[in-house]
Chain A
């Protein structure tokens, strides 16, 4: 059987649930950012909604890709006819590689867009970084560790910004946001080594879940505090 996933068999489907939870969190932030942009016309909201939309779509492709692979593996095992199984592998491979490529491109572009919200790169910097990102995307499709390393580096830069923001503002929400991004960033660091040990895929996914739940809690606290101060 062709190896299409690093997920241990006992974890099949559970990672999809984690990705759906992450998608829901991203979608909530996208909806909030879009409606806030409509109210205030703040360009940063436009960029933020763009970045989170790309990340939302990347998870959508990841889920479709994983769903195809798991479904394919289960069906192939169950049927067991040589010709039929061969055809299924080919079709699953095509879907897998398309989903795989889109997932990686959208993830890197989404993270880069999020980073750009805070760094406001000028023309030449943006062009140079875009070329480097394009080269990295090209290699990341063939080598897992290149993709996860790139995600780790961009997330580390974003997390650094949130840590600095927390240092300046010092409130529970900025602290939780910084912690969430640090956890999501570390989940990518763990993912770099999934080729060596499949269990690391589970660790990485669970860290991702923890990070996105932190992001959800931050969002809920933002809404709660917005309401609370009105009553004071």
Chain B
């Protein structure tokens, strides 16, 4: 059985989903791509926007979520941590 995702795993999945979509994604797509419920995503998204990792933009009357530079750097750091954990067997 797969282990339950930690808070940091969920954040990494969200940021990665945005990055894989070219740095810009619709909120509903993010919800599906990162396997989250609506309420779960809302709470995580508030945190990510609060930390300036993600920002909301309007394009052609659609709301999009954009990965900021700080968000990209944080994702890079999370990936380094993932690599470190795999290598050191943590």
Contact = CB atoms under 8 A, between A and B. Distances in A.
24 contacts: A36-B81, A36-B84, A40-B8, A42-B90, A44-B90, A48-B88, A117-B90, A161-B89, A162-B89, A165-B89, A169-B87, A169-B89, A171-B86, A173-B87, A222-B80, A223-B80, A223-B83, A225-B83, A226-B77, A226-B82, A227-B80, A230-B72, A230-B76, A230-B79
A40 B83 contact: no
A48 to B, nearest CB: 7
B6 interface: yes
Given A42-B85, A48-B90, A226-B77, 8 more contacts: A32-B84, A36-B81, A36-B84, A45-B90, A165-B89, A173-B87, A174-B89, A225-B83
B75 interface: yes
A229 B79 contact: yes
Question: Among B7, B19, B85, B90, which residue has the most Cβ atoms of chain A within 10 A?
Answer: B90
Nearest to B6: A40
Nearest to B12: A40
A165 B77 CA distance: 23
B81 A40 contact: yes
Interface in B56-84: 72, 75-84
B84 to A, nearest CB: 5
A174 to B, nearest CB: 6
Nearest to A42: B90
A82 to B, nearest CB: 55
Interface residues of A, number: 26
A218 B81 contact: no
Interface residues of B, number: 21
Nearest to A226: B80
Nearest to B77: A39
A39 B8 contact: yes
Contacts of B90: 42, 44-45, 48, 117
Given A39-B8, A39-B77, A227-B76, A222 B84 contact: yes
B88 A39 contact: no
A73 B78 CA distance: 50
Contact of B83 (A39, A117, A162, A222): A222
Question: Among B19, B82, B89, which residue has the most Cβ atoms of chain A within 10 A?
Answer: B89
A45 B81 CA distance: 10
Nearest to B75: A230
A118 interface: yes
A189 interface: no
A173 B83 contact: yes
Nearest to B16: A230
B79 to A, nearest CB: 4
Contacts of B79: 226-227, 229-230
A171 to B, nearest CB: 8
A151 interface: no
Interface string A144-171: 0000000000000000011001000101
